[in-house]
Structure 1
Amino acid sequence: MARPNDEVGALLQEYSDLISITGGDEFKARAYEKAARAVAGYHEDVSRLDVRKLREIPNVGKSIADKVVEYLRTGQVRVVEELRAKIPAGVREMIAIPTLGPKKAMLLYRDLGISSVDELVHAIHSERLRELKGFGPRTEENILHGIQVLQQAGGRVHLNVATEVADEIVAELSAVTGCSRCCYAGSLRRFRETVGDVDVLAAAKDPGKLMRAFSQMSTVDEVIAHGEKKTSVRTTKGLQVDLRVVPPEAWGAALQYFTGSKQHNIRTREMAVHARLKLSEYGLFDVETGDLVVSETEDEVYQRLGLPWIPPPLREDRGEIEAAQRGELPDLVSLDDIRGDLHTHTNLTDGLSTLEEMVREAARRGYSYYAVTDHAPNLYMQRMSDDKMLAQREEARRLDGKHRRMRLLHGTELNIDPDGEVDWPHDFLAGFDLCVASVHSHFTQPAREMTRRIVRACENPYVNIIGHPTARLIGRRPGVDADLDEVFRACARTGTALEINAYPDRLDLNDENILRAKHFGVKFAINSDSHSVVHLGFLRYGVGTAQRGWLTAEDVINTWPLRRLRTFLRKGR
Structure 2
Amino acid sequence: MVRANDQVEAMLQEYADLIALRGGDAFKARAYEKAARAVGGYPDDVSALDAQGLRDIPHVGRSVADKVLEYLRTGRMSVVDEARASVPAGVRELIAVPGLGPRKAMVLYEELGITSVDQLQDAIRQERLRDLKGFGERTEQSILHGISVLRKAGEGRILVSAAMDVAEQLVAEMSAIPGCVRCTYAGSLRRMKETIGDVDILVAAHRPAPFMEALVALPGTAEVIARGEKKTSVRTATGLQVDLRVLPPASWGAGLQYFTGSKAHNIRTRALAVRQGLKLSEYGLFDAESGRSIASGTEEAIYTRLGLPWIPPTLREDRGEIAAGLRGELPDLVTERDIRGDLHTHTDLTDGLAPLEDMTAAAAARGYAYYAVTDHAPNLSMQRMTSEKILAQRERLRELDGGHHTMRLLHGTELNIGPDGDLDWPDEFLAEFDLCVASVHSHFNQNRRELTGRLIRACENPHVSVIGHPTTRLIGRRPPIDADLDAVFEACARTGTALEINAHPERLDLCDEDVLRAKRHGVKFAVNSDAHATTHLAYMRYGVATAQRGWLTTDDVINTWPLARLRRFLGR
Distance in 1, matches of 2:402 and 2:271, equals 55
Does residue 82 in structure 1 map to residue 69 in structure 2? no
* Cα deviation code 1:350-380 (max 9, x no counterpart): 1011111111111111001100001111111
Counterpart of 2:100 in structure 1 is 100
Query: Which one is further off, 378-387 or 38-47?
Result: 38-47
* Cα deviation code 1:71-102 (max 9, x no counterpart): 11100111211222233333212101111111
Does residue 238 in structure 1 map to residue 239 in structure 2? yes
The amino acid across from 2:392 in the alignment is A
SS at match of 1:553: coil
Distance in 2, matches of 1:235 and 1:401, equals 49
Alignment of 1:164-563 (within 5 A): 164-563=165-564
The amino acid across from 2:110 in the alignment is R
Alignment of 1:30-49 (within 5 A): 30-49=30-49
Distance in 2, matches of 1:27 and 1:200, equals 45
Distance in 1, matches of 2:101 and 2:270, equals 47
Query: Which one is further off, 297-306 or 542-551?
Result: 297-306
Distance in 1, matches of 2:183 and 2:356, equals 39
Distance in 2, matches of 1:520 and 1:539, equals 24
Counterpart of 1:12 in structure 2 is 12
Contact 1:299/1:308 (8 A) holds in 2? yes
Contact 1:344/1:528 (8 A) holds in 2? yes
The amino acid across from 2:399 in the alignment is R
- Normalising by structure 2, we get a TM-score of 0.98
Contact 1:20/1:29 (8 A) holds in 2? yes
Report the CA distance between 1:57 and its aligned residue: 1.9
The amino acid across from 2:100 in the alignment is L
- After superposition, the Cα gap between the structure-2 partners of 1:173 and 1:404, relative to the gap in structure 1 and judged at 3 Å, is farther
The amino acid across from 1:522 in the alignment is V
Report the CA distance between 1:191 and its aligned residue: 0.7
The amino acid across from 2:474 in the alignment is L
Structure 1 residue runs of 4+, over 6 Å off? none
Distance in 2, matches of 1:166 and 1:24, equals 40
Counterpart of 1:136 in structure 2 is 136
Report the CA distance between 1:53 and its aligned residue: 2.0
The amino acid across from 2:555 in the alignment is E
* Cα deviation code 1:391-429 (max 9, x no counterpart): 111111111152452110111101111111111111111
* Cα deviation code 1:25-46 (max 9, x no counterpart): 2222122112111211122221
How many residue pairs align between the two structures? 571
Distance in 2, matches of 1:135 and 1:87, equals 22
Contact 1:377/1:385 (8 A) holds in 2? yes
Structure 1, unpaired ranges of 5+: none
Distance in 2, matches of 1:133 and 1:414, equals 32
Distance in 1, matches of 2:519 and 2:461, equals 21
Distance in 1, matches of 2:26 and 2:308, equals 60
How big is the alpha-carbon RMSD for the aligned residues of Structure 1 and Structure 2? Answer: 1.1
Query: Which one is further off, 493-502 or 264-273?
Result: 264-273
The amino acid across from 1:79 in the alignment is V
Distance in 1, matches of 2:380 and 2:128, equals 36
Contact 1:370/1:408 (8 A) holds in 2? yes
Distance in 2, matches of 1:108 and 1:381, equals 27
* Cα deviation code 1:324-343 (max 9, x no counterpart): 11100000000000000000
Report the CA distance between 1:294 and its aligned residue: 1.3
The amino acid across from 2:67 in the alignment is K
Counterpart of 2:114 in structure 1 is 114
Query: Which one is further off, 36-45 or 421-430?
Result: 36-45
* Cα deviation code 1:271-318 (max 9, x no counterpart): 122222221111112221222221111111111211111111111111
Distance in 2, matches of 1:360 and 1:27, equals 32
Distance in 1, matches of 2:386 and 2:26, equals 25
* Cα deviation code 1:118-174 (max 9, x no counterpart): 111111112222232222111110001001111111221111111111111101111
Distance in 1, matches of 2:466 and 2:402, equals 24
Distance in 1, matches of 2:402 and 2:167, equals 37
Distance in 1, matches of 2:57 and 2:449, equals 43
SS at match of 1:183: strand
The amino acid across from 2:223 in the alignment is E
Distance in 1, matches of 2:2 and 2:416, equals 32
Contact 1:173/1:210 (8 A) holds in 2? yes
* Cα deviation code 1:508-559 (max 9, x no counterpart): 0000000000011100000000001000000000000000000001100000
* Cα deviation code 1:10-36 (max 9, x no counterpart): 111111111111222222212211211
The amino acid across from 1:65 in the alignment is A
* Cα deviation code 1:492-517 (max 9, x no counterpart): 11111000000010000000000000
Distance in 1, matches of 2:295 and 2:40, equals 47
Contact 1:150/1:475 (8 A) holds in 2? yes
Report the CA distance between 1:50 and its aligned residue: 1.6
SS at match of 1:410: strand
Contact 1:191/1:541 (8 A) holds in 2? yes
The amino acid across from 1:347 in the alignment is D
Distance in 1, matches of 2:428 and 2:78, equals 54
Distance in 1, matches of 2:446 and 2:478, equals 14
Structure 2, unpaired ranges of 5+: none
The amino acid across from 2:208 in the alignment is P
The amino acid across from 1:331 in the alignment is D
The amino acid across from 1:536 in the alignment is L
Contact 1:35/1:60 (8 A) holds in 2? yes
Distance in 2, matches of 1:131 and 1:57, equals 46
The amino acid across from 2:542 in the alignment is Y
Distance in 1, matches of 2:90 and 2:282, equals 43
Query: Which one is further off, 118-127 or 379-388?
Result: 118-127
Distance in 1, matches of 2:93 and 2:163, equals 22
The amino acid across from 1:325 in the alignment is L
Distance in 2, matches of 1:93 and 1:336, equals 42
Contact 1:360/1:403 (8 A) holds in 2? no
Counterpart of 2:73 in structure 1 is 73
Report the CA distance between 1:240 and its aligned residue: 1.2
Counterpart of 2:148 in structure 1 is 148
Contact 1:283/1:295 (8 A) holds in 2? yes
